[in-house]
Structure 1
Amino acid sequence: MAWRLLSSKTLISLFHSSLSPSPSPFPNPIWSSLLFSSPFSTSFISTKTPRKLKPRKKKKKESPRTKLVQHESNRIHHFEHLVQRDSFLRFVTKSKIFLSKRPEHVLRLDDAGKLHHELGFPRGRKVVRSIEKHPRIFQTYRHTDGKMWFGFTDLVEELLEEENRIMDEMEVDRVTRVRKLLMMSKDKRIPLSKIYHTRSLFGIPEDFRDRVSKFPDYFRVVVENDGRRVLELVNWDPALAVSQLEKDFVLDEDKVKKAFTFPMKHGKCLDLDEDDARKLRLLSSLPLVSPYSDGSGLDLWTVEAEKYRVGLLHEFLSLTLEKRASIHHIVEFKEEFSLTKHTYQMLLKQPRTFYLAGTEMNWVVFLRDAYDEDGVLIHRDPQVVFNEKLYRYAEML
């Protein structure tokens, strides 16, 4: 072969020329491999980085949008089921409200497809898919204009008449609930828009803003400079300024005392006598600040202020029809009730009384004592009975 004809001097000169910065005289890769290949193998040398020196991958934090509030071991499944049921029936509840305000209770499908927020169906999905899930509630038909429309079935039209009768019969009760909300508020006034947005929570009728004029001894509507209409309390009623917690305290004092805990920092050994120890336990358990007192002047980070806010939220939930509310309902009244951004953590610290279900970003708080062991409301408002009937029809195929 040709490479054997090369003398040793020639090889040496070629080697030195390869070390110079000038271009290699042997562009052919075969020559390079012959000249510079090593007779020794280096395959035994490990090129992997030791595991202990490798940078650890950071675990992705679960989003508050999907992370559940309760650990599996602490989960109360009938409360979680109610949250899931509400999510499944969101299209039914929101569409019922929206269609009820429209002439003839109908809507063109082309228009409905653009109203995912108002009707409560997933964005990007076809509204027809949600309609087909509830054939006893909604129906579609082709109008004389050739367009497809959807509306209520005859069954739901009859149910709506029943619901209107309930609203009329419960009018006095709803007025009382609004009066108590105003009495708990910081300035004894709440924007009408906030009451309207949370009307389903308290069973307040759609036309409550028009009904207000029937009760001049209770309410006054004030129009502010920005055009916002605000509902103000006219007369304070001491008979209404009694919270549900105070009523329960009269019936079962020990039960209410154990319902709340407010840990206080103190020395491990205070050498307290029995009477002083009892007073300390009372101070750290029972919320003594009435939700109908003025709590706006309390220092935000004192035990008294926290007792006030906990008692206020307990009374707020007691006024709701289903003794529960979502974060969106509570945030609606943040300013009026002097609530802080730590409301979520505050409620979590009271597991004997409150149960938080759902996710950290979209949670629902329940009054535990208002439900029996099977998760059924102990005292059901006529509107709640009606809603449950509607939900049963909505889940039928």
Structure 2
Amino acid sequence: MAKACRFCANQLMSRWKNIVGLNVSIGAFVGKYPHAFEIFTHPCRRNLCCRITDKLKELVEEEECVVREFEVDAVRRVKKLLLMSRKGVLNVHALRLMRKELGLPEDFRDSVLAKYTSEFRLVDLETLELVDGDDDERLSVAKVEEWREVEYREKWLSEFETNYAFPINLPTGFKIEKGFREELRNWQRVPYLKPYERKEISRSVERFEKRVVAVIHELLSLTVEKMVEVERLAHFRKDLGIEVNLREVILKHPGIFYVSTKGSTQTLFLREAYSKGCLIEPNPVYSVRRKMLDLVLLEKRHSKELLQSCEEERDVEVRYDEDWEGERDGDWILPILEK
């Protein structure tokens, strides 16, 4: 990932505004986060440029190392997705779009898919297939089923109440209308085909939609941050059998899912996995990304100390000559058109 932070100096950051979903200028954005981005004047061309700070660079490299270290966990996630798919296959493009959410490295096709041939295999350039003969029944247990087991044993609830139930955490201030509780109670008891079951899907609309909720719930549980962009989730619709109006189903269950609409993207969160904005059960990949977020959220606080440290670094840097091409290993250096 550190290598991906280097770009050609003639590529303008302003062109990225729509791509990354910003509603402000690139110049205003990078200027707001001095702990993450360093703005400087090109020594030869004299135009305003930007690169990531050393602190952020270290965290990018740390994330890359953590992803490699916990590669086996990522393999398990991919395998569970294949087990959940209707025909035991997944579109590689969909995996590529969701590689960060699944904790996969940038080069996952070569470093993961081609390496674990006993788990899955590439049928062609864009189709990943599950290898038969897996006897680990634990992979076919959904996260919500583990929760049900705890509810059944620790809270002494009947099997009738817990067999098909989901954890419900209604948002603060949610208006409970007349009949809502009874309707929710009845929905909790509706039987459905569970995510890893390969039987014929019921034609009942209610049961079909509940299975879709279960599949989305399980997919979110498999991500390292229990969140995914709705647009990326849509690429799994065919393989996972969730060919319905995703937004409509998600919005019908505010006690299970939360949709953030910040910026120009819609991000889906698993509500039960978070408390006060943080993951309840953090993992190493999430933890390093949280450190990145904390660095960015500093905004301009402690910027005087940051400026002083940058000036000290420049004092010991080798002077640039006329052949300077604007690159240092691992740096993100781009000219800024907008201020």
Report the TM-score when normalising by structure 2.
0.70
1:292 equivalent to 2:185? Answer no
Please say which of residues 244-253 and 346-355 is displaced more in the overlay: 346-355
1:337 equivalent to 2:240? Answer yes
The AA in structure 1 aligned to 2:116 is F
Alignment partners' CA distance in 1, 2:30 and 2:215 = 40
Alignment partners' CA distance in 2, 1:173 and 1:345 = 32
Alignment partners' CA distance in 1, 2:54 and 2:149 = 48
Match of 2:128 among 206, 228, 231: 231
* Contact persistence 2:14–2:25 (CA under 8 A): yes
* Contact persistence 1:136–1:393 (CA under 8 A): yes
CA pair 145-219 structure 1, distance change in 2 beyond 3 A: farther
Report the TM-score when normalising by structure 1.
0.61
Match of 1:216 among 85, 99, 117: 117
Please say which of residues 139-148 and 247-256 is displaced more in the overlay: 139-148
Alignment partners' CA distance in 1, 2:11 and 2:239 = 40
Query: For the pair shown, which has the larger CA radius of gyration, 1 or 2?
Result: 1
Alignment partners' CA distance in 2, 1:220 and 1:258 = 35
Q: CA deviation at 1:229?
A: 2.2
Per-residue CA distance 1:135-156 (angstroms, 9 max, x = gap): 1111233445415432211112
Q: CA deviation at 1:318?
A: 0.9
The AA in structure 1 aligned to 2:28 is R
TM-align CA RMSD? 2.9
The AA in structure 1 aligned to 2:62 is E
Q: CA deviation at 1:390?
A: 0.8
The AA in structure 2 aligned to 1:341 is V
The AA in structure 2 aligned to 1:204 is L
* Contact persistence 1:323–1:366 (CA under 8 A): yes
Alignment partners' CA distance in 1, 2:286 and 2:128 = 26
Paired residue for 1:152?
Answer: 52
Aligned residues: 270
Specify the SS of the correspondent of 2:51: strand
Q: CA deviation at 1:380?
A: 0.7
Match of 1:390 among 267, 292, 315: 292
Paired residue for 1:350?
Answer: 253
Alignment partners' CA distance in 2, 1:380 and 1:178 = 19
Q: CA deviation at 1:234?
A: 0.9
Alignment partners' CA distance in 2, 1:364 and 1:121 = 15
Alignment partners' CA distance in 2, 1:120 and 1:109 = 22
Alignment partners' CA distance in 2, 1:215 and 1:344 = 35
Specify the SS of the correspondent of 2:15: coil
Paired residue for 1:328?
Answer: 231
Alignment partners' CA distance in 2, 1:355 and 1:128 = 31
Per-residue CA distance 1:189-243 (angstroms, 9 max, x = gap): 11222111111212211111111222110121122xxxx4221111344331111
Q: CA deviation at 1:120?
A: 4.5
The AA in structure 1 aligned to 2:213 is V
Match of 1:243 among 113, 121, 142: 142
Per-residue CA distance 1:270-321 (angstroms, 9 max, x = gap): xxxxxxxxxxx788625442201236x4255433322321211111111112
Per-residue CA distance 1:42-87 (angstroms, 9 max, x = gap): xxxxxxxxxxxxxxxxxxxxxxxxxxxxxxxxxxxxxxxxxxxxxx
Specify the SS of the correspondent of 2:28: helix
CA pair 181-217 structure 1, distance change in 2 beyond 3 A: same
Alignment partners' CA distance in 2, 1:140 and 1:356 = 34
Specify the SS of the correspondent of 2:137: coil
Q: CA deviation at 1:115?
A: 2.8
| Identity across the alignment (%) | 28
CA pair 284-388 structure 1, distance change in 2 beyond 3 A: closer
* Contact persistence 2:90–2:128 (CA under 8 A): yes
* Contact persistence 2:273–2:281 (CA under 8 A): yes
Q: CA deviation at 1:248?
A: 1.5
* Contact persistence 2:167–2:272 (CA under 8 A): no
Extract unaligned runs of 5+ from structure 1: 1-96, 262-280
Specify the SS of the correspondent of 1:201: coil
* Contact persistence 2:91–2:127 (CA under 8 A): yes
Alignment partners' CA distance in 1, 2:167 and 2:39 = 52
Alignment partners' CA distance in 1, 2:209 and 2:48 = 55
* Contact persistence 2:166–2:188 (CA under 8 A): no
* Contact persistence 2:165–2:189 (CA under 8 A): yes
CA pair 388-208 structure 1, distance change in 2 beyond 3 A: same
* Contact persistence 2:59–2:291 (CA under 8 A): no
The AA in structure 2 aligned to 1:331 is A
Per-residue CA distance 1:250-285 (angstroms, 9 max, x = gap): 111348455379xxxxxxxxxxxxxxxxxxx78862
